[in-house]
Structure 1
Amino acid sequence: MGEFVIKMPDVGEGVAEAELVEWHVKPGDPVREDMVLAAVMTDKATVEIPSPVDGTVLWLGAEVGDTVAVKAPLLRIQIAGESGQVTGDDEAAAEPAPKAEAVEPTRAEPVQQQPAQVRQNRAPPAEPAAAEPKHAERPVPREPAERPLASPAVRLRAQEAGIDLRQVTGTGPAGRIGHDDLDQFLARGVQPAAVPAGLARKTATEEIKVTGMRRRIAEKMRLSASRIPHITYVEEVDVTDLEDLRTTMNNGRKPDQAKLTILPFLMRAMVRTLAEQPDVNATFDDDAGIVTRYGAVHIGIATQTPAGLIVPVVRHAEARSIWDSATELTRLAEAARNGTAAREELSGSTITITSLGALGGIVTTPIINHPEVAIVGVNKIATRPVWDGTQFIPRKIMNLSSSFDHRIVDGWNAAIFVQRIKTLLETPALIFIEG
């Protein structure tokens, strides 16, 4: 029998390592050609690794959550024959694989930890067979509101053991309950007081390793929060007229046109505003100290998916109409949620929009998508009374919560940016006027 060594493949230009996010096999499992063995992730793209041969899994070279270098051994498969091959490494493709016994790492058996002892807990003393019980067979009944006498240590021990001290007979002065009384109570096998259904103590814990997309998100947020001094600017926007226009346009849309949400209008307003304030449509390389302004407006759309938060990118929003923007938004959101978005569709944004839809709340504090310098947050629309000078009238109000990199965008410029978007959204006809 021979061995076939599968190495971490080159999953993309310039990528030196990838994170193992899923195993589909374990040692001893039979595999067949083209069967998916594992999944790895890099740059928010997940790649499945198939088996090129039939055989049996001998050894796995990494655990879920590990980062594996390109061309590092990933797993070994026993195959018929005497020589093996190495996939993912052209230079070693013709070399026979070393025997698994010589390279398989020795894994220590996990040490099972003993549960921590309850503080000041004592083992119940064994009672002599002929000894008379020190306590009565049944605890002395107490009033429901009565507070038995006991030291703090005894109360803590009883609390941790789930014992109602009103059930315990105290032998100390004035019926004071001591540790010996608790020991006797437990030795008699008396059950702790019943706890009402739904109010039982829960002491279980669960450790969940942060891997895959969730780890990518955590790293991205840590990088952004630690390196970018955020300034967040919040403004109310009256979108009553915009909502009327949106409803009218949706009622007259063609069958092949995507339904309009408020986001395509916001995107067009941002395009108009960014042409006037190019400093906001930029990225900042703080290591090199270089700000890069972009003529193109590539808008990232923060999208919640089963795998976590993903930011697909609507490229060249400056060249898209309202309807085209809506179509592309719908397509990218669906691709992100079902995991079919291409790598180039998940990178390269120059500014980002984040929206929680109907759950958007009143105010949010968006985290900038590093290395961008701005993010626009959309809050929910609510009907509120607005004073028009003579009376209160119902208007549809939406807050914009926008964050900026204060190293690049001053507070004054951030306010101008948001106020310009507010003007366009409150007078939506301006969005369609060129020049």
Structure 2
Amino acid sequence: MAKFTFNMPDIGEGIAEAEIVQWHKQVGDTVNEDEEFVDMMTDKATVPMESPVTGKILEIAGGEGDMVSIGSMLVVIEVEGEVPDDVAEESQAAAEAAPAPAPAPKSEPVEERIEVETSDASDADDALAADPDPAPQPEPRPAPESSAQAKVLATPAVRKRAKDLGVDLAQVKPAEDGRIRHGDLDQFLSYNAGYGAAAKPRADEEKKVIGMRRRIAENMAASKRNIPHFSYVEEVDVTDLEVLRAQLNSNRGEKPKLTILPLLITAICKTLPDFPMINARYDDEAGIVTRHGSVNMGMAAQTDAGLMVPVIRNAQAQNLWQLANEIARLAEAARTGTAKSEEMQGGTLTVTSLGPLGGVATTPVINRPEVAIIGPNRIIERPMYVTGADGVERIEKRKLMNISISCDHRVVDGWDAASFVQALKRLLETPALILVD
């Protein structure tokens, strides 16, 4: 028998550590060669780790949500015979290639903060742990009923039901004999819908923030902490755009059904050449802004694990139907957790939409290091003044949608953002131009 230490490899994304998302094997389990035994999450994607040997797991690096540094022990496996030299050398190379720790900052005076906590249940637990033979504690007694509750005439079964529902029997009208029965309680509840739910709230729940939820929290905090956001919202008449979409869908044949998103992305791509500062990334450490020629459109997608942003490569080179196919494919990959690492990075601009839940206006958070994010909101029908071809102004029912944009004010000025949205608006309100090359 020999022990093999599998060190966390460098998975080529310039990261220093990865998070344990899910163990597929535990201590004592047998793992086969090339079998996935744990999922590790980086800033970009979840990467499954495969065992290079067959054996019994003796030790693991930690639990779900714990961080493992590149080059440090991830799992120890007991194998029969000797560990192959190439496998041992590869694991040793992973340990030696671990990033060097950052130099410690110069010592500066640190303000000492002392927190004084009030006595609570944890203090009692500590006291019990210190005393090997604590004195027995008296059983807690239920709180006595109020005088009004005590005077109510009701059977024990009715009292128990009222207590479970959180109903004060003193507020229930009794029968003529002064006694409250189940029927009286039912009548009270029918006239006071939600009374019990309001009086008896759901218990608190604590949930550890790990995996994708932790990454989202860290990325959003970094964006808001480092980027001075500003938002701009404009109303767009999409009546004609919706007519065009309906016409295209009625003649699509075997093609996918178009949502408004492919039309919006196409319009954005046609508008961006005149506003290159919107389709950019800002490396604030190097002080360099890169204005991109190609549009790698990030598409915010809600999944069970949280918000993910797969990227549509070269969106400006794809037609409406190609975009519709790519949107559907990437959304499904994000929902099922099968999106590849390269499909989750390299975006230059992001579109985020809540569809029918989009609300009147949004102020989306920028997907750092991008410098802008665009949020279409819900389409609503509303009467508005329209000037016809005859020059007569009349009231018509129109379909309206607000377009929101949030920008990095270090790179994008308010005038530029407003001008970009106005140009986008003109295109969306004259949708035939979207299809013109």
Q: TM-score range by the shorter chain?
A: 0.7 to 0.9
Asked whether the equivalents of residues 9 and 91 of structure 2 are also in contact (C-alpha less than 8 Å), the reply is: no
Alignment-derived partner of residue 419 in structure 2: 416
Is the counterpart of residue 397 in structure 1 residue 403 in structure 2?
no
Asked whether the equivalents of residues 303 and 336 of structure 1 are also in contact (C-alpha less than 8 Å), the reply is: yes
Alignment-derived partner of residue 311 in structure 1: 309
Name the larger-Rg structure. Answer: 1
Q: Aligned residues, how many?
A: 356
In 2: Cα distance, 1:416 partner to 1:83 partner: 65
Deviation string 1:358-412 (CA, Å, 9 cap, x unpaired) is 1111111111111111111010111111122644211111111111111221111
Alignment-derived partner of residue 102 in structure 1: none
Alignment-derived partner of residue 275 in structure 1: 273
Matches within 5 A, 1:200-349: 201=200, 204-255=203-254, 257-349=255-347
Asked whether the equivalents of residues 383 and 396 of structure 1 are also in contact (C-alpha less than 8 Å), the reply is: yes
In 2: Cα distance, 1:12 partner to 1:203 partner: 46
Asked whether the equivalents of residues 5 and 91 of structure 2 are also in contact (C-alpha less than 8 Å), the reply is: no
Cα distance change of structure 1 residues 339 and 214 upon mapping to structure 2, 3 Å threshold = same
- Which runs of no fewer than 5 residues in structure 1 stay unpaired? 94-112, 118-122, 127-137, 146-161, 167-194
Letter in 2 for 1:299: M
Task: Please report how far the alpha carbon of residue 139 of structure 1 lies from its aligned counterpart in structure 2 after TM superposition.
Answer: 7.4
Letter in 2 for 1:428: P
Letter in 2 for 1:247: A
Alignment-derived partner of residue 160 in structure 2: none
- Which runs of no fewer than 5 residues in structure 2 stay unpaired? 94-119, 125-136, 152-165, 171-193, 388-392
In 2: Cα distance, 1:352 partner to 1:91 partner: 39
Task: Please report how far the alpha carbon of residue 69 of structure 1 lies from its aligned counterpart in structure 2 after TM superposition.
Answer: 2.0
RMSD of aligned alpha carbons: 3.3
Matches within 5 A, 1:18-417: 18-81=18-81, 87=87, 89-90=89-90, 92=92, 114=121, 141-142=147-148, 197-199=196-198, 201=200, 204-255=203-254, 257-388=255-386, 390-417=393-420
SS at match of 1:244: helix
In 2: Cα distance, 1:201 partner to 1:87 partner: 59
In 2: Cα distance, 1:370 partner to 1:31 partner: 39
SS at match of 2:148: coil
Task: Please report how far the alpha carbon of residue 268 of structure 1 lies from its aligned counterpart in structure 2 after TM superposition.
Answer: 1.5
Letter in 2 for 1:325: L
Task: Please report how far the alpha carbon of residue 56 of structure 1 lies from its aligned counterpart in structure 2 after TM superposition.
Answer: 2.4
Asked whether the equivalents of residues 5 and 84 of structure 1 are also in contact (C-alpha less than 8 Å), the reply is: no
In 1: Cα distance, 2:276 partner to 2:48 partner: 40
Deviation string 1:192-243 (CA, Å, 9 cap, x unpaired) is xxx9743564584433221111111111111111111111111111101000
In 2: Cα distance, 1:124 partner to 1:343 partner: 59
Task: Please report how far the alpha carbon of residue 28 of structure 1 lies from its aligned counterpart in structure 2 after TM superposition.
Answer: 2.3
* Higher relative helix content: 2
SS at match of 1:284: strand
Task: Please report how far the alpha carbon of residue 290 of structure 1 lies from its aligned counterpart in structure 2 after TM superposition.
Answer: 1.5
In 2: Cα distance, 1:407 partner to 1:52 partner: 48
Identity over aligned pairs, percent: 51
TM-score when normalising by structure 2: 0.73
Asked whether the equivalents of residues 7 and 86 of structure 1 are also in contact (C-alpha less than 8 Å), the reply is: no
TM-score when normalising by structure 1: 0.74
In 2: Cα distance, 1:139 partner to 1:356 partner: 50
